[in-house]
């Protein structure tokens, strides 16, 4: 179809099986979700020495016993669901849903260990050494660490961290004794602090997502201790060995179930518009459309679409126009009925996964209707030029 300055033409847009297309034809894809875990041996290192020595001063005076330098933390379990539903058609790579999080606070007291050396003022937290089994998809330099799920063929678990990103490299300043791991942070007493009087914390937040590596075998993965944590004082007068904190990042047991729904591939026909209605930055022709799901065997109460593929203009966050009209693309927005987004909120196609802000919709009795809007948008700081408009985009439906 065409957009003309004198006479508005019509163009159609459709979602097909795995793709949706502007101009009446299309194709669309669908998929779902999953969960994970692992286990590993633990090495126990000696605790940092308690400083109880005395030191003679010039006039023969002594300093009494020094407070013990020590760090503590507790294990944390990722908030992943016990049952995950995934479609056989889910694409390989990171699955945006579900995502589980966990936060660990490391507390260190009794710093500085001595005042004899600058290094004695700092306690370092370490993650690693006996990491759970890594997936073949793991990249040591990160971002994140990808763990194998031995009982769930075709799936792995990607764990990322903030504010310091997790990695599984082996280096002098990585895991204990130069093993694979990373340093979540340090607790450092200010210069001039009296021996053993300072305490501080390091906080690390972890996010876990399933990672599809191939054909998924459904089943149950038992709980896994993914990352053990340690602490030590490097160099200086103390130069302690890494001490095990008896704290782990834990993946809960999860069961993966195959789920299949009947998904519609709607054709969306946008109205005829004039180029006069599409001056620089303007939108026109807003049209509602829906993706419907029926016969879902999933017990998940919600569904959400994630859009992807080469049909997305990652610079603008809109759908590319492969027709002849110039300076015009197609914008997608959330429709009515979402439990997470207001109708009319733009879908950010230049983002990935949940960052797209695509709305979540309820699944009731195995059925759901996901509502959206599509509209023309003038780009490049210029008015739209007359011509045809055609766009395609793939989408995947997940059960969060």
CB 70 within 8 A of CB 48: yes
The first and second tokens of residue 243, run together, are 């001490």
CB 21 within 8 A of CB 391: yes
9-30+261-398 matches 70-258 in fold? yes
pLDDT value of position 326:
93
Assign residue 219 a region (left: φ > 0; alpha: ψ between -120 and 50; beta: otherwise): left
- Please provide the CATH number assigned to the domain covering 9-30+261-398: 2.60.40.1090
pLDDT value of position 35:
29
CB 388 within 8 A of CB 1: yes
Nearest to 220 by CA among 82, 100, 102: 82
Residue in the structure block whose two tokens are 């021996």: 195
**pLDDT tens-digit profile, the chain (400 residues):** 445 443 333 222 333 233 343 332 223 322 332 222 233 332 323 333 333 332 322 232 223 345 688 999 999 999 998 888 887 777 788 887 778 999 999 999 999 988 888 889 999 999 998 999 999 999 999 899 999 999 999 999 999 999 999 999 888 778 787 888 999 999 999 998 999 999 999 999 999 999 999 988 889 999 999 999 999 988 777 767 788 999 999 999 999 887 778 888 788 889 889 889 999 999 999 999 999 988 887 666 888 888 888 889 999 999 999 899 999 999 999 999 999 999 999 999 998 888 899 999 988 888 899 999 999 999 999 999 999 898 988 888 887 5
pLDDT value of position 320:
93
CB 37 within 8 A of CB 79: no
The first and second tokens of residue 247, run together, are 């704290």
For 118-172, give the DSSP string: GGGGEEEEEEESSPPPBPTT--TT-SSEEEE-TTSTTEEEEEEEESS-----BST
pLDDT value of position 179:
86
pLDDT value of position 28:
30
pLDDT value of position 293:
87
Q: Is 141 exposed, middle or buried (0-12, 13-18, 19+ CB in 10 A)?
A: exposed
Cis peptide before 112 (omega within 30 of 0): yes
Cα–Cα separations (whole angstroms), residue 315 to 43, 121, 319, 320, 351? 49, 47, 10, 10, 10
What are the backbone dihedrals phi and psi of residue 178, each rounded to the nearest 5 degrees, phi first?
Answer: 65, 25
pLDDT value of position 226:
97
HEC readout, 195-263: CCCEEEEEEEEEEEEEEECCCCCCEEECCEEEEEEEEECCCCCCCCCCEEEEEEEEECCEEEEECCCEE
Cα–Cα separations (whole angstroms), residue 355 to 85, 96, 269, 371? 21, 9, 27, 18
The first and second tokens of residue 399, run together, are 């059960």
Give the C-alpha separation, 183 to 201, whole Å: 14
| Residue ranges of domains in the chain | 9-30+261-398, 70-258
Give the fold, CATH level 3, of 70-258.
Answer: Immunoglobulin-like (2.60.40)
Q: Is 58 exposed, middle or buried (0-12, 13-18, 19+ CB in 10 A)?
A: exposed
**pTM score, whole prediction:** 0.67
pLDDT value of position 22:
38
pLDDT value of position 36:
28
Q: Torsion angle of alpha carbons 343, 348, 351, 355, nearest 10°?
A: -20
Q: How many CB atoms lie within 10 A of CB 213?
A: 18
């Amino acid at each position: 179809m065409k957009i003309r300055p004198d006479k508005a033409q019509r163009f159609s847009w459709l979602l097909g099986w795995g793709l949706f297309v502007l101009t009446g034809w299309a194709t669309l894809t669908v998929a779902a979700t999953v969960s994970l875990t692992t286990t590993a041996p633990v090495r126990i290192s000696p605790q940092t020495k308690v400083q109880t020595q005395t030191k003679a001063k010039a006039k023969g005076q002594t300093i009494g016993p020094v407070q013990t330098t020590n760090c503590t933390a507790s294990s944390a379990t990722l908030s992943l669901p016990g049952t995950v539903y995934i479609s056989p058609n889910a694409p390989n790579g990171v699955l945006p849903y579900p995502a589980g999080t966990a936060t660990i606070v490391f507390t260190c007291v009794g710093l500085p260990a001595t005042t004899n050396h600058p290094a004695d003022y700092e306690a370092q937290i370490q993650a690693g050494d006996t990491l759970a089994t890594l997936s073949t998809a793991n990249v040591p330099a990160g971002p994140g660490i990808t763990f194998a799920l031995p009982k769930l063929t075709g799936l792995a678990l990607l764990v990322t961290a903030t504010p310091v990103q997790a990695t599984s490299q082996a280096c002098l300043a990585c895991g204990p004794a130069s093993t694979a791991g990373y340093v979540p942070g340090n607790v450092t007493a200010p210069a001039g602090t009296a021996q053993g009087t300072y305490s501080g914390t390091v906080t690390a937040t972890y996010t876990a997502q399933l990672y599809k590596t191939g054909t998924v075998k459904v089943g149950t993965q038992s709980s896994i201790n993914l990352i053990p944590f340690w602490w030590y004082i490097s160099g200086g007068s103390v130069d302690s060995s890494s001490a095990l904190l008896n704290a782990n990042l834990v993946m809960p047991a999860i069961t993966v179930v195959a789920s299949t729904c009947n998904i519609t591939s709607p054709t969306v026909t946008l109205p005829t518009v004039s180029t006069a209605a599409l001056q620089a930055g303007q939108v026109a022709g807003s049209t509602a459309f829906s993706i419907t799901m029926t016969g879902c065997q999933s017990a998940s109460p919600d569904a959400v679409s994630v859009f992807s593929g080469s049909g997305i203009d990652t610079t603008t966050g809109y759908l590319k126009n492969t027709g002849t009209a110039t300076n015009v693309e197609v914008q997608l927005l959330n429709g009515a009925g979402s439990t997470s987004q207001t109708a009319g909120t733009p879908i950010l196609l230049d983002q990935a996964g949940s960052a797209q802000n695509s709305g979540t919709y309820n699944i009731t009795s195995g059925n759901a209707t996901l509502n959206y809007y599509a509209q023309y948008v003038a780009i490049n700081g210029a008015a739209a030029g007359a011509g045809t408009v055609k766009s395609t985009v793939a989408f995947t439906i997940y059960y969060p």
